[in-house]
Amino acid sequence: MVKSALSRTTIYILLSLGAVLMLLPFVWMISTSLKAPNEVMAMPPVWVPAEWKFENFTEAMRVAPFDRYFINSVIVTIVSTIGELITTILAAYAFSRIQFYGRDIVFAVLLGTMMVPSEVLLIPNFVTLSNLGWIDTYSALIIPWTASVFAIFLLRQYFLGIPKELSFAAKVDGCSEFKFLWYVMAPLAKPALITVALLKVINSWNAFLWPIIVTNSQELRTLPVGLSAFTTEAGIKYELLMAASSMVILPMLILFFIMQKYIVAGVARTGLKG
């Protein structure tokens, strides 16, 4: 139909315009990673380098033990994501499906923790970790990040939208609460869970200050720490930084590309009448 074709075109135009804006920094990052140093800060900007300096990548790789960092990043990201998913699912379930004394208060208190700038928490946390003897261990990198109020809140909202009839059916079918959570709620909340996981993975992957603060040895550090190698007192080696950054975010992009369709593929919601 003409009209819907028209509106379709408008949608594409709008989306494309937005997409250009969204793409800019990314394109810039890639193009900078291939620039000669003098092109980096040129004004007006150079978008296509005169000469493509692929050696920036090899040079960037040399600056820090990126292979080791990569492995650490993977370990920390995977473990903390799994940990967060578990604690989140459990807590979100309690907040969405169980009526208990003080529920609203506990929830409000947890929300409250999000309102305090993390800057003031850094030092007390360091001291705690230090008392636990966790400084410079994987535990310090992972455990404090295995629970997140944000994720609990998000999932709780999603869980609240799942019809209670299903929990009725499951109970009748002899399903314990815990199994119900696992077999019914979690699969139905797949889009939200994937969202939580994606955001978590990205945050964890990009975390910079924390790994620096709680580790001392190279063996435990993660990729973003490697990126700091290009920053000096008087400036930044942008071309190398961007080359390294590109390599760092590439896995995230691929992951997102793969996972986003699960967010939107959706879960069939029929099976209920009324």
Partner 1 sequence: ACGGNEETNGAEANEEETEQESTENTDEGTETEEASSEPVEVDFWHAMSGPHEEAIKEFVEQFNSEHENITVTPVNQGSYDDLEQKIMAAAKAKSLPTLAQAVTNVVPEYIGNDFVSPLNDFIEDEEIGLSDEELADYVDVFKESSSWDGTYYSLPFSKSTRILFYNTGLLEEHNLEVPETWADIRNIAETVTGDGVVGMGFENSYEAEFQAILKQLGGTYIDEATSEAQFASEEGIKAMTMMKDMIDEGIARTAGEDDYMSNPFGRGDVAMYIGSSAGIPHVGSAAEGNIEWSATTFPTLDGEAATSFAGNDIVMFNQAEEAEQKAAWEFMKFLTSPEVTAEWSMKSGYLPVRYSAQETSEYQAFVEENPEYEAGPQQFDAGFFIARVQGGDAVRNIVLEETELILLGEKSVEEGLQSAQDRANEALQK
Partner 2 sequence: MDVYLDNLTMEFEDITAVNRLSTTIKDGELVSLLGPSGCGKSTTLMLLAGLYKPTSGDIYFGEKNVTKLDAEKREIGMVFQNYALYPHLSVLKNIMFPLRMQKVPKKEAKERAIEMANLVQIGHLVDRKPGQLSGGQQQRVAIARALVKKPKLLLLDEPLSNLDARLRLEMREEIRRIQQEVGITAIFVTHDQEEALSISDRVMLMKGGLLQQDSAPQEMYRKPINSFTAAFLGNPPINFLQIKKTEKPRTFELMNSSQIVKIPVNHEKERIQLGLRPENLYVTNKEDAFITGEVIHLETIGRDTLIRVQIGEVTIRALIDPSIDINVGDQCHLGINQEYIHYFDVENGANLERGNSNDGQADMEQYA
Partner 3 sequence: MMDKPTWNNTLRALLYLLPALIILITFNIYPIIKSFLMSLYTDYDFYNDVVYKYGLSNFIQIFKDPNFLKAVINTTVFVIGVVPISIVLSLAIAILLNSKIKALSFFRTIYFLPFVTSVVAVAIVWSWIFHSDYGLLNYFLGLFGIDPIQWLTDPAYSMPALIILSIWKGLGFNIIIFLAGLQNINKQYYLAAQVDGASGWHRFLSVTLPLLSPTMFFISIISIINAFKVFDEIFALFNGRPGPANSTLTVVYYVYQKFYEEWEFGLASAAAFVLFIIVFLFTLIQLSLGKKFVHYQ
Binding site for partner 2 (CB under 8 A): 1, 163, 165-166, 168-177, 179, 183-184, 187-188, 190, 267-274
Contact criterion met (CB below 8 Å) for 229 and 223: no
Q: Which does 61 bind (CB under 5 to 8 A by kind): partner 2, partner 3, partner 1, none?
A: none
**Quick one: which of 203, 57, 34 has its CA closest to 118?**
203
Contact criterion met (CB below 8 Å) for 185 and 156: no
Site string for partner 3, 48-67 (x = CB under 8 A): --------------------
Closer residue to partner 2, CB minimum distance, 21 or 98: 98
Q: Which does 1 bind (CB under 5 to 8 A by kind): partner 3, partner 2, partner 1, none?
A: partner 2
Q: Which does 25 bind (CB under 5 to 8 A by kind): partner 3, partner 2, partner 1, none?
A: partner 3
Contact criterion met (CB below 8 Å) for 142 and 83: yes
**Quick one: which of 200, 181, 194 has its CA closest to 264?**
194
Query: How many CB atoms are located within 10 Å of the residue 172 CB?
Result: 8
Q: Which residues touch 235 (CB under 8 Å, ≥6 apart)?
A: none
Q: Which does 13 bind (CB under 5 to 8 A by kind): partner 1, partner 3, partner 2, none?
A: none
Site string for partner 1, 232-251 (x = CB under 8 A): xxxx-x--x-----------
Q: At its nearest, how many Å lie between partner 3 and the CB of residue 220? A: 18
**CA 95 to chain centroid:** 23
- Length of the chain equals 274
Q: At its nearest, how many Å lie between partner 2 and the CB of residue 97? A: 13
Q: What is the DSSP letter of 228?
A: G
**Is 11 one of the binding residues for partner 3 (CB under 8 A)?**
yes
Site for partner 3 in 169-198 (CB under 8 A): 177, 191-192, 194-195, 198
**Is 233 one of the binding residues for partner 3 (CB under 8 A)?**
no
Site string for partner 1, 14-53 (x = CB under 8 A): ----------------------xxx-xxxx----------
Closer residue to partner 3, CB minimum distance, 219 or 231: 231
**CA 170 to chain centroid:** 33
Q: Which does 252 bind (CB under 5 to 8 A by kind): partner 3, partner 2, partner 1, none?
A: partner 3
Whole-number Å distance between alpha carbons of 193 and 251:
20
197 φψ region: left (φ > 0), alpha (ψ -120 to 50), beta (else):
alpha
**Which H helix or E strand runs over 182?**
none
Whole-number Å distance between alpha carbons of 5 and 206:
41
Q: At its nearest, how many Å lie between partner 3 and the CB of residue 206? A: 8
Closer residue to partner 3, CB minimum distance, 219 or 269: 269
Q: Which residues touch 37 (CB under 8 Å, ≥6 apart)?
A: 237, 238, 239
Can you give the binding site for partner 1, defined by CB under 8 A?
A: 36-38, 40-43, 63, 122-123, 126-127, 130-131, 135, 208-209, 212-213, 216-217, 225, 228-235, 237, 240
